[in-house]
Amino acid sequence: MMRVIYVLWLRQLKKYGRSKSRVVGAVGQPLLFLLALGYGLGSVFARAGKGDYIQFLVPGVIVQTILFASIFWGVNILFDRMLGFLKELLVAPVPRVVILLGSVLGGATTAFLQGVLVLLVSLAIGFRPYSLPLTLVAFAIMAMLAIGITSLGAGLGSIIDNMPGFQAVNNFIIFPLYFLSSSLYPLDSAPPALKIIAMFNPLSYAVDALRGTLINQSHYGLATDFAALGITMIALIAFGTICFRRIQT
Amino acid sequence: MESTNFPTIAVDHVTKSFGDVMAVDDISFEVYPGEIFAFLGPNGAGKSTTIKMLTTLLRPTSGALRLAGKDVVREQAAARKAFGVVFQDPSLDDELTAYENMELHAVLYGLPRAMMAERIDMLLKLVELDARRGSYVKTFSGGMKRRLEIARGLLHEPQILFLDEPTLGLDTQTRNVLWAYVRELSRDRKMTIFFTTHYLEEAEDIADRIGIVDRGKMVAMGRVDELRQQTGTDSLEGAYLALTGKGIRDEEVSAGDNMRAHMRARRRS
């Protein structure tokens, strides 16, 4: 079984590495956010007494990178269904859960690596993490986020039949989730309505956890963040598994 | 002679319904080691549904299907190891090389690492793709892809090979080569070959026995001469038309089939 999981994981990495445009596309957008917002709004943020906006923004932008890379990875499952390759996997003497596991781990790895890449670029433009041990915890949070959202992407790729459907999900679910989390602005000074929405948005806890570990600023506290993130991850894995198991050819 | 053998494919009173529609209605047949069996029928007759059930992609509503003695529902993994399949649409990963596609298959079917490279080499030579082993499949023609799929389907040494319209869209040369392989496999390795086709002359040339389905039922089964005799006609085509009528059929397709047809059309344009 480990060998099967390994080759399926490797397949995702190979496909990813062979498509340069995917890498550039996935990292380009978050960097644009970081540079445009970071430098554009930095002085306003500082004048409001909130400190360095780049410091504040980097965790949110890393979440953004992983979020969009992971969800969009689900298109691979859609393509495998469309182009017929999935049949090869579905008739193989291997349980479907194992097929899904190997593929999701591969997708999550690529999303995670993109997050790391954005973190490295941030370091180059002046971002300074709070401490090394906590940065390692941040990597664990990034991995959890990647696995959870990749499972969601796999689930969507299993039930959606075309690309426009995927884009619709992106526009109507993922973008609002992102903007209504604390990724771009601090929750402490946000209006109450926004605070309440953010509280029910699982993504807020991922952003908060990264902020807690990378710049030592947490709104909810790391324990709450981990609990919320863990529960969400399990729910998303369950969702992905149920959808993938129901695929009919 | 056949009845002394143990059947490699045994389909026993199988039905499959989708809501009110009976796609397959109480079909039974057996195919034996080394036998080449052609499965014919008009569009929408239940061919695809039957193949999907045989290849474990669909569960029967009732009845049992056994491959090499293994029940496709209850002993699914063992049944899956017993067959190789070449689907109507390509099922290769275009972004991987020919060799990588083979390698992935070998691991999925649990081939020991020691014999993997040797078997892949041998099969790529057999289908004359050895020189292109490192090329991405997306650079292959339709015929090359079909050959690679056959090689891949044989990698785990199955007892049964399913071929769903394997010659669709291939030129005459490639078709001849393909059928020559298939004959060899059945003769030398006693492999059971089960194929569908719309070209009746292929079935007539290649198959030892033919089954004809229509409206979910097996309407006739036997050797070509038996079918001719049974219908009082002088060709397989005559027998086929006598059994299934001359009207054109519309096929109900699944969302997945539609999606793939759409993708194919887009790729061609």
Task: Please check whether residue A76 is in contact with residue B251, taking contact to mean a CB–CB distance below 8 angstroms.
Answer: no
Integer Cα distance of B227 and B236 in angstroms: 7
Query: Looking at residue B1, what is its pLDDT?
Result: 46
Which residues 136-155 of A are in CB contact (within 8 Å) with B?
none
Going by C-alpha positions, the residue among A12, A180, A243, A34 that lies closest to residue A111 is A12
Report pLDDT digits (tens) over B18-57: 988 899 999 999 999 999 999 999 888 889 899 999 999 9
For helices A53-73 and A96-124, angle between their N-to-C axes, nearest 10 degrees: 150
Mean pLDDT of chain B: 89
Q: For residue A50, report the phi and psi dihedrals to the nearest 5 degrees.
A: -105, 0
Residue B16 has pLDDT above 70, yes or no: yes
Q: Does A7 touch chain B (CB under 8 A)?
A: yes
Report pLDDT digits (tens) over A192-225: 998 999 999 999 999 999 999 999 998 999 999 9
Question: Which residues of chain B make contact with A82, given a CB cutoff of 8 A?
Answer: 259-260, 263
Sheet with B192-196, side-by-side order of all strands: B83-86, B160-164, B192-196, B36-40, B209-214, B217-222
Integer Cα distance of B260 and A56 in angstroms: 46
Section B80-104 average pLDDT: 95
Q: Does A82 touch chain B (CB under 8 A)?
A: yes
pLDDT-wise least confident of A54-58, B4-8, B92-96: B4-8
Report residue A63 as tokens.
């979440």
Residue A173 has pLDDT above 80, yes or no: yes
Integer Cα distance of B9 and B31 in angstroms: 5
pLDDT grade for B250, boundaries at 50, 70 and 90 = low
Mean pLDDT of chain A: 92
Nearest to A82 among B57, B80, B263 (CB): B263
Q: State the complex-level ipTM.
A: 0.88
Going by C-alpha positions, the residue among B42, B35, B17, B94 that lies closest to residue B237 is B42
Please give, rounded to a whole number of angstroms, the shortest distance from the CA of B199 to a CA of chain A. 24
A161 with B55: Cβ contact below 8 A: no
Q: Does B261 touch chain A (CB under 8 A)?
A: no
Classify the C-alpha dihedral A201-A205-A210-A216 as positive or negative.
positive
Query: Looking at residue B263, what is its pLDDT?
Result: 67
Integer Cα distance of B160 and B206 in angstroms: 16
Integer Cα distance of A156 and A177 in angstroms: 16
Q: Does B58 touch chain A (CB under 8 A)?
A: yes
Amino acid at B115: M
More confident residue, A126 or B208: B208
Mapped to the 3 state alphabet, what secondary structure does chain B carry? CHHHCCCCEEEEEEEEEECCEEEEEEEEEEECCCCEEEEECCCCCCHHHHHHHHCCCCCCCEEEEEECCEECCCCHHHHHHCEEEECCCCCCCCCCEHHHHHHHHHHHCCCCHHHHHHHHHHHHHHCCCHHHCCCEHHHCCHHHHHHHHHHHHHCCCCCEEEEECCCCCCCHHHHHHHHHHHHHHHHHHCCEEEEECCCHHHHHHHCCEEEEEECCEEEEEECHHHHHHHHCCCCHHHHHHHHHCCCCCCCCCCHHHHHHHHHHHHHHC
Residue A112 has pLDDT above 80, yes or no: yes
Task: Please check whether residue A58 is in contact with residue A119, taking contact to mean a CB–CB distance below 8 angstroms.
Answer: yes
Pairing of strands B62-67, B160-164: unpaired
Residue A116 has pLDDT above 90, yes or no: yes
**Residues, chain A:** 249
Integer Cα distance of A88 and A94 in angstroms: 11
Give the up-direction half-sphere exposure of residue B37: CA atoms within 13 A in the CB hemisphere.
Answer: 27
Section B162-185 average pLDDT: 87
Please give, rounded to a whole number of angstroms, the shortest distance from the CA of B177 to a CA of chain A. 24
Sheet with B70-71, side-by-side order of all strands: B21-31, B9-18, B62-67, B70-71
Residue B196 has pLDDT above 90, yes or no: yes
Query: Looking at residue A18, what is its pLDDT?
Result: 87
Report pLDDT digits (tens) over B174-194: 888 889 988 998 999 899 999
